[in-house]
């Protein structure tokens, strides 16, 4: 009770002075708020962004997103499939342009005669597939929406072989946890693109290695001769210009260890949102 009376008195004193210079105080408060908001905040947010501990706190949301979303989704739910008339007039070819390496250009010129998809790693019977071999396997065609991390979406028609079909032939070992895609394209520094997904996503019915887009052979800029379609995640997970597939138990020893080219630069490995 004593405390309360003191509080009352202090409050009343404050309020008297407040009434006298109300306008001044208000203006001051506004100015201060503006200053804090527009200059201080930017510095603070940028500083926090560079702070390792704070960043890993922010990054902890990725695990929560993955667990909760996977829990809510369940297994083998299919992404919406669209109709022919929904297909985008323009589909932005994002990421690295087609490789300029001589062997890539030569392979492209020869309709991928000497190109091989090398499947290895923790597998019982590793194998190299020619494009003809892949095309002779059961195919799946789907018209799906592609969501880029930048925010845009485009709809395309894809035909390819299910990744599960490949797995049935090479028999991953029980130790294998991830599928890694090694790609032929590089960034301007010469770093090769790569990506990885888990086995649950790998066996999803709509997860395919596409060799056709919109009823034509996969265009160079869209990842010829073979690219991944992974309909439950963002575009950067869908490796293009695939050269090899590797089954691994963990991702630590591949490039910078985060499981993908963009992941190594701070993007989420789980790109479900």
Partner 1 sequence: MESLVYRHNRITRLTHWINAVALLVLFMSGLQIFNAFPELHWGSKAEPDEAFFSIAATNEDAEVRGYTHLFGLKFDTTGLLGVQNTATGPSPRAFPSWITIPGYFWLAGGRRWHFFFGWIFTINGVLYFLYNVLNGHMRKFLFTLKDAIQVPAMIAYYLRLRRESPQKGEYNPLQKMAYTSVFVILTPLVLLSGLAMSPQLDIAFNWLPAAFAGRQSARTVHFILAFGFLFFTFGHVFMVLTTGFLNNMRSMVTGWHNEKIAPTIEVAPETPVAPSPTAPSLSIEGEGKGEEEPENIASHQTSEPELKADAQENPKDEGGVNEKSKF
Site for partner 1 in 80-109 (CB under 8 A): 80, 82, 86, 88-90, 92, 94-96
Report residue 269 as tokens. Answer: 């490995």
Q: Which stretch binds partner 1 (CB under 8 A): 119-127, 129-137, 145-153, 218-226?
A: 145-153
Report residue 259 as tokens. Answer: 């499981």
- Minimal distance in Å, beta carbon 254 to partner 1? 19
Torsion sign over Cα 67, 163, 210, 195: positive
Nearer to partner 1, 44 or 101 (CB): 44
- Per rule CB under 8 A, is residue 265 in the interface with partner 1? yes
Nearer to partner 1, 71 or 109 (CB): 71
- Per CB under 8 A, contacts with partner 1 among 211-250 are 231-234, 236
* Residue written as token pair 């005669």: 113
Largest CA distance in the chain: 92
Q: What's the CA gap between 47 and 4, in Å, rounded?
A: 41
Q: What's the CA gap between 194 and 177, in Å, rounded?
A: 16
Going residue by residue from 175 to 214, which x/- string records binding to partner 1, judged by CB under 8 A?
----------------------------------------
| Backbone angle region of 90, left / alpha / beta, with phi > 0 → left and psi within -120 to 50 → alpha | beta
Q: Which stretch binds partner 1 (CB under 8 A): 109-117, 165-173, 248-256, 259-267?
A: 259-267
Q: What's the CA gap between 249 and 258, in Å, rounded?
A: 13
Going residue by residue from 28 to 47, which x/- string records binding to partner 1, judged by CB under 8 A?
-xx-------xx-xxxxxxx
Going residue by residue from 6 to 25, which x/- string records binding to partner 1, judged by CB under 8 A?
-xx--xx-xx--xxx-xx-x
Q: Count CB-CB contacts under 10 A for residue 103.
A: 11
Nearer to partner 1, 59 or 250 (CB): 59
- Per CB under 8 A, contacts with partner 1 among 64-83 are 64-65, 69-70, 72-74, 77-80, 82
Contact predicate 155/82, CB 8 Å:
yes
Among 35, 105, 106, 273, binds partner 1 (CB under 8 A): 273
- 3-state secondary structure labels for all residues of 203-249: CCCCCEEEEEECCEECCHHHCCCCEEECCCCCHHHCCCCEEEEEEEC
Nearer to partner 1, 61 or 101 (CB): 61
The separation between CA 132 and the C-alpha centre of its own chain, rounded to angstroms, equals 29
List Cβ neighbours of 38 (8 Å cut-off, separation of 6 or more): none
Number of residues engaging partner 1 in binding (CB under 8 A): 81
Q: Which stretch binds partner 1 (CB under 8 A): 120-128, 170-178, 221-229, 260-268?
A: 260-268
- Minimal distance in Å, beta carbon 102 to partner 1? 25
- Per rule CB under 8 A, is residue 60 in the interface with partner 1? yes
Nearer to partner 1, 15 or 141 (CB): 15
User: DSSP label at 37?
Assistant: I
Q: How many DSSP H helices and E strands does the chain contain?
A: 8, 10
- Minimal distance in Å, beta carbon 89 to partner 1? 6
């Amino acid at each position: 009770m004593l405390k309360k009376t003191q509080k009352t008195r202090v409050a009343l004193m404050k309020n008297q002075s407040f009434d006298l210079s109300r306008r001044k105080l208000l203006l001051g408060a506004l100015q201060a708020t503006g200053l804090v908001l527009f200059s201080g905040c930017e510095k603070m947010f940028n500083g926090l962004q560079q702070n390792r501990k704070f960043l890993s706190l922010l990054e902890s949301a990725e695990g929560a997103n993955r667990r909760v979303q996977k829990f809510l989704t369940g297994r083998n739910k299919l992404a919406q499939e669209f109709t022919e008339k929904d297909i985008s007039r323009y589909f932005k070819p994002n990421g690295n342009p087609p490789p300029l390496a001589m062997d890539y250009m030569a392979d492209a010129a020869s309709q991928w005669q000497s190109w091989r998809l090398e499947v290895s790693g923790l597998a019982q019977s590793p194998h190299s597939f020619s494009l003809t071999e892949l095309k002779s396997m059961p195919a799946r065609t789907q018209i799906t929406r592609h969501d880029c991390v930048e925010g845009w979406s485009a709809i395309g028609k894809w035909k390819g072989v299910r990744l599960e079909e490949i797995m049935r032939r090479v028999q991953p070992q029980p130790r294998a946890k991830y599928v890694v895609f090694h790609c032929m394209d590089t960034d301007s520094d010469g770093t090769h693109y790569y990506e990885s997904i888990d086995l649950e996503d790998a066996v999803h019915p709509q997860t395919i290695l596409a060799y056709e887009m919109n009823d034509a052979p996969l265009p160079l800029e869209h990842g010829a001769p073979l690219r991944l379609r992974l309909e439950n995640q963002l575009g950067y997970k869908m490796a293009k210009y695939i050269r090899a597939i590797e089954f691994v138990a963990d991702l630590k020893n591949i490039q910078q260890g985060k499981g993908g080219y963009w992941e190594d630069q701070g993007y989420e490995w789980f790109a479900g949102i």
